[in-house]
Amino acid sequence: MKLSTLLMFLAGLAISIGLIYFGYRWFVKKNIRRNVIERTLAIVKPDAVRAHHTGKIIDKIEQENFTVIDLRKVQLDREQAEKFYEMHKDKKFFHQLVDYMTGGPVVVMILEKMNAIIDWRDLMGATDPAKAKEGSIRKLFGTDIGKNAVHGSDSPEAAHREIRFFFADRIKE
């Protein structure tokens, strides 16, 4: 084997190992069960509140051993909804989302349990209720991708920011 061929092979191997390593670290950070007590934000969206599904959703949450630390029913105004969803402000659906979230009261909750973030996202189901797994909240109570009954934080950083947004009085710095 020529030296240049060997060097190319080793360089390709090093790049592959690097991609696998950093890809795995990203995946683990987003998806692994960390086995720590976490808090996450849950929102029962206006469509589910309007359809009187709030109690059924809370029952499913408690059946999955989440502890509801705090719960509030609130009516978001346009400014609040725009601030909460500011990470989506450049997306086509932003104004429709803000209109939807201000169209009726929502129920916001702080949920706590071991691996709360990933477990809540699993219990919620896929964003599109048609693609959500059987028994998930979105499969049971969502009507379409836009009216999918619930929201949940997608990372520890998002959970902290979102809980602070609705429950600033509960956060101790």
DSSP class of 107: E
Residue 173 has pLDDT above 70, yes or no: no
133 neighbors 126 (Cβ within 8 angstroms): yes
Please write the tens of the pLDDT for every residue from 54-88: 999 999 999 999 999 999 999 999 999 999 999 99
Residue 125 has pLDDT above 60, yes or no: yes
160 assigned to active site: no
Residues 37-170: name the CATH superfamily: Nucleoside diphosphate kinase-like domain (3.30.70.141)
| Active-site option among 52, 88, 95, 151 | 151
Token pair of 57 as six digits: 């959703």
* Cα–Cα distance measured from residue 43 to residue 58, given in angstroms and rounded to the nearest whole number: 11
Q: 105-134: string of b/e by CB count within 10 Å (b at 16+)?
A: bbbbbbbebebbbbbbbebbbbeebeebee
C-beta neighbour count of 160 within 10 angstroms: 15
